[in-house]
Amino acid sequence: MYSLTVRDHFMIAHSFRGEAFGPAQRLHGATYVVDATFRRPELDEDGLVVDIGLASAHLSAVLSDFNYRNLDDEPLFTGENTTTEFLARVIFDRLVQGIKDGHLGAVARGVTVVSVTLHESHAAWGSYEGDV
C-alpha cells in the first residue's frame, strides 16, 4: 500500500461539557497540526498517490472553515464536544467528500483510505482513519 501525507495547521477556541474534562470545561483553545494521509494500492500513471499541490490546497481549504474560530459558536458542532479525535473525523469526512467532488483531481479517485491526525501538543495527538 502506498501513501502520501501533507501537513498544515489551524487554531481554534472551544470548551468541553462533562466532568471528565475538568479545567478543559472552561473556554480555552488549541493549535492543531494536521497530517492528512492518502492511501491506495497502486500508483497512477504519473507515479502519484495524489497531486501534492492539490492535496495541500484542499487540506488548507478544509481547515480554513475552522481556522481562527470559536468552535462553540459553530452551528455544525452544537451539542458536540469538539475533541481532537472528533475533529479528526470531521476533517476526514471533508477530505473524502473533496475527493468525491473532484477537488483533488482525477488522480485522487484511486485513493482507497484516508487518515487524519491532529497533534494538539508535543505530547498528545488523535486520529481517524477510514475507507473512502
Q: Residue numbers of the site for a second copy (CB under 8 A)?
A: 1-9, 11-14, 16, 18, 20-24, 26-33, 43, 46-49, 51-53, 56, 67-70, 80-86, 88-89, 105, 107, 119-130
d(CA 15, CA 70): 9
Question: Would you state the cell numbers that stand for residue 36, as one nine-digit string?
Answer: 492528512
Question: Would you state the cell numbers that stand for residue 80, as one nine-digit string?
Answer: 458536540
Q: How far is the CB of 78 from a second copy (least distance, A)?
A: 13
Q: How far is the CB of 129 from a second copy (least distance, A)?
A: 5
Over its C-alpha atoms, the chain yields an Rg (Å, rounded) of 16
Q: How far is the CB of 68 from a second copy (least distance, A)?
A: 4
